[in-house]
Structure 1
Amino acid sequence: MTTTTHRSRTALAPLALVTIGLVGAGTTAASAHSDDDDRVIVTGACSAGADWKLKVKTDDGRLEVEGEIDSNTVGQQWRWAIRHNGSVSDRGSATTTGRSGSFSIERQVVDLAGTDRVVFRAVHDGQTCRGVVNY
């Protein structure tokens, strides 16, 4: 399974300042990519074939968080949650749609002082997807 991380900043600080951690089914590696904004994108494989993506970026003094699941199967019901620094920021359910059999959710959370830990987790019929960004 492959996990990729895309990191970009207008003024690039050392990558060590933004640690990207991934915990999940077989997630083993991460790589970084930089371009022209302050967004972090982390991707990986779920425990049974679906793929996940977690994006975090600043937006008007807050953090914009987007989680996406792509299972290539239309009509699947997934339960999802976003945790921010250990507390549940939001949770819900979503159904995969479109030709790609995917869904995405977008939320804003407070940009706290120091490092913010954002976790996106989604579950469907025993399959688990989980991504973590320390921003």
Structure 2
Amino acid sequence: MTNVRTAAAVLGATSLLAAPLSLVAAPAHADGPEKERSFRVAGADVDFHVEKEDGRFDVDVDVDDAKPGSKWRIVLRHDGKVFHNKVHRADSDGDIDVDKRRADTKGADVFKVTVKKVGGKGKSSTIRMR
């Protein structure tokens, strides 16, 4: 009878100790793929990144190496509808960061960014998420 109680106690203690470790070791879960496009416009580097996480999309646009203080119009579209259209000013390092969240819609989600230096030419890129 003592061996059964000892075995039960050891088994119970082991399972209690192992449970928190399994929670810590679990990897983060993302709903879908990440996609990124990079291009240059008016001497600046642009990174356009879309990731599906927790049933929503994280949409990021990073402009790097622009002239500090310069103005840039950034337009974001989701399935053809504009959800961000704003002029941003590059910081003292020449960077602009735009981070937005969008709900998932039926079918393939298509994201498009247009980046244009105010007074200059623009360029666009498209990301299709499935």
TM-score, with normalisation over the residues of structure 2?
Answer: 0.68
Per-residue CA deviations over 1:68-113 (Å, capped at 9, x if unaligned) read: 21243100111111001111012112111132x1101011112112
Which residue identity does 2:53 align to in structure 1? D
Per-residue CA deviations over 1:43-75 (Å, capped at 9, x if unaligned) read: 0122x3222110000122111100121243100
**How much is the aligned-residue C-alpha RMSD, in angstroms?**
2.0
Q: Distance in 2 between matches of 1:127 and 1:52?
A: 14
For residues 102 and 111 of structure 1, do their structure 2 counterparts lie closer, same or farther at Cα, with a shift above 3 Å needed?
A: same
**Can you give the 5+ residue segments of structure 1 that lack an aligned partner in the other structure?**
1-9, 12-36
Q: Once the 2 structures are TM-superposed, how far is the Cα of residue 129 of structure 1 from its aligned partner?
A: 3.0
Q: Taking every aligned residue pair, what percent have the same amino acid on both sides? A: 23
Which residue identity does 1:96 align to in structure 2? A
Which residue identity does 2:95 align to in structure 1? S
**Can you give the 5+ residue segments of structure 2 that lack an aligned partner in the other structure?**
1-28
Q: Distance in 2 between matches of 1:120 and 1:51?
A: 14
1:69 to 63, 68, 71: 63
Q: Report what 1:54 is aligned to.
A: 48
TM-score, with normalisation over the residues of structure 1?
Answer: 0.66
Are the aligned partners of 2:43 and 2:65 in contact in 1 as well (CA < 8 Å)?
yes
Are the aligned partners of 1:52 and 1:130 in contact in 2 as well (CA < 8 Å)?
no
1:91 to 85, 96, 111: 85
Q: Distance in 2 between matches of 1:63 and 1:76?
A: 29
Q: How many residues align?
A: 99
Runs of 4 or more off by more than 2 Å in structure 1?
none
Q: Which has the higher contact order (CA 8 A, sep 6+)?
A: 1
